[in-house]
Amino acid sequence: MHTNFDIFPDGTAWVVRCQSAEYGRYISQIQAFNAAVVEARKTKFNGRLAHVRVMREQGSAQADFVSLL
């Protein structure tokens, strides 16, 4: 089982969300990505797999992702 940290555009901001928890709203996609990686590393440190996914839009099934094994 793995944990997904999803990054998606929402208006003029980029949002990082994991399940129902929102980890912040950022001005740029790269800021959101970096914040998601920090949270994913914490998850990995606790022994769980984590994926950081950049979604094309909220609720989209299509994403580019990085897996932290």
| Domain residue ranges in the chain | 2-68
Instruction: Please indicate whether residue 68 or residue 14 has the higher confidence score (pLDDT).
Output: 14
Sheet containing strand 49-55, strands side by side: 21-26, 13-18, 2-10, 49-55, 63-68
Q: Token pair for residue 23?
A: 């980890």
pTM: 0.80
Q: What is the pLDDT of residue 15?
A: 95
pLDDT in tens, 10-61: 999 999 999 888 988 999 999 999 999 999 999 999 888 898 988 876 555 5
> What is the spatial distance between Cα 50 and Cα 25, in angstroms, rounded to a whole number?
20
Q: What is the pLDDT of residue 61?
A: 59
Instruction: Please indicate whether residue 2 or residue 66 has the higher confidence score (pLDDT).
Output: 2
CA 35, 41, 43, 49 torsion: positive or negative? positive
> What is the spatial distance between Cα 36 and Cα 18, in angstroms, rounded to a whole number?
9
